[in-house]
Amino acid sequence: MTKKENEAKNLKKPWPTKDAMEQVYVMQLWGKNDSVFYSGDGSHYPEIVNPYIDVVAFFLTSFERPITVCDLGCGDFNIGKELVKYSAKYVAVDIVEDLIEYNKKKYKQENLEFQCLDIAVNDLPTADCVLLRQVLQHLSNAEIESIVLKLTAFEYVILTEHLPEGDFIPNIDIISGQGIRLKKQSGVNLLASPFNLKAKEVKQLLCFNLEKNKGVIVTTMYRLF
């Protein structure tokens, strides 16, 4: 990459994700309930949430000894709070500082830690397994590429993405924010270009069909080299 290309690339950083996600919570763009922070219906509807918790809990308890977990994009922690007990240590990460401070006060367990990080920019905590639940779908390809490079430090990645039903063109780029690629009839596929994640095992754990042709929510486990 030439000096001019490097300069142009650096001008794009920091990415607008932090401001966009802060706005989501301040303006309650994903809805609201009695809580100060609300990560959307997909993190609260039992018919979506409970099967996810079941399959991830089954995975985490399949080991002889509890493993360490890093939850990237933990949101309001309505889901994460149900998984902490299955881990040796659970590190929950989000980009919104006020949200992390709120979670720290609300959720306290001996093996639970919260960190405020931009996962595309900052170093990630050490763990055996990463959970990425409907996070990458909100990010630009450049940010996802940065994150994928860091995922190679983990043995397991459990990724959940909202995808179009049926065939689609993967990884059409978007600007980071509230929206996802579904509006472009696209979705994130880490195995496809430009991400090209290498895994020695790929296993679909769950596929939830949404009503009224609103796509599917797919959870996949990747075991990395």
Q: What are the tens digits of pLDDT across the range 37-89?
A: 999 989 999 999 999 999 999 999 999 999 999 999 999 999 999 999 999 99
Query: What tens digit of pLDDT does each residue of 212-224 get?
Result: 889 999 999 999 9
The reported pLDDT for the residue numbered 29 is 86
pLDDT band (50, 70, 90) for residue 190:
very high
Contacts of residue 43, Cβ cutoff 8 Å, sequence gap at least 6: 49, 75, 76, 78, 79
- What local confidence, expressed as pLDDT, does residue 224 receive? 97
Give the predicted TM-score (pTM) of the model. Answer: 0.91
Q: Are strands 129-133 and 68-72 parallel, antiparallel or unpaired?
A: parallel
Q: pLDDT band at residue 1, thresholds of 50, 70 and 90?
A: very low
Predicted pLDDT at 14: 60
**What is the number of domains present in the chain?**
1
**Closest-CA residue to 220 (of 61, 207, 70):** 207
Per-residue pLDDT averaged across 22-31, rounded? Answer: 90
CATH number for the domain harbouring residue 144? 3.40.50.150
Q: Is the per-residue pLDDT at 2 higher than 60?
A: no
Counting residues of the chain whose pLDDT is more than 70, the rounded percentage is: 94
Containing structural domain, residue 121: 3-224
- Mean pLDDT for 92-102 is 97
HEC string of the chain equals CCHHHHHHHHHCCCCCHHHHHHHHHHCCCCCCCCCCCCCCHHHCCHHHHHHHHHHHHHHHCCCCCCCEEEEECCCCCCCHHHCHHHCCEEEEEECCHHHHHHHHHHCCCCCEEEEECCCCCCCCCCCCEEEEECCHHHCCHHHHHHHHHHHCCCCEEEEEEEECCCCCCCCCCCCCCCCCHHHHCCCCCCCCCCCCCCEEEEEEEEEEECCCCCCEEEEEEEEEC
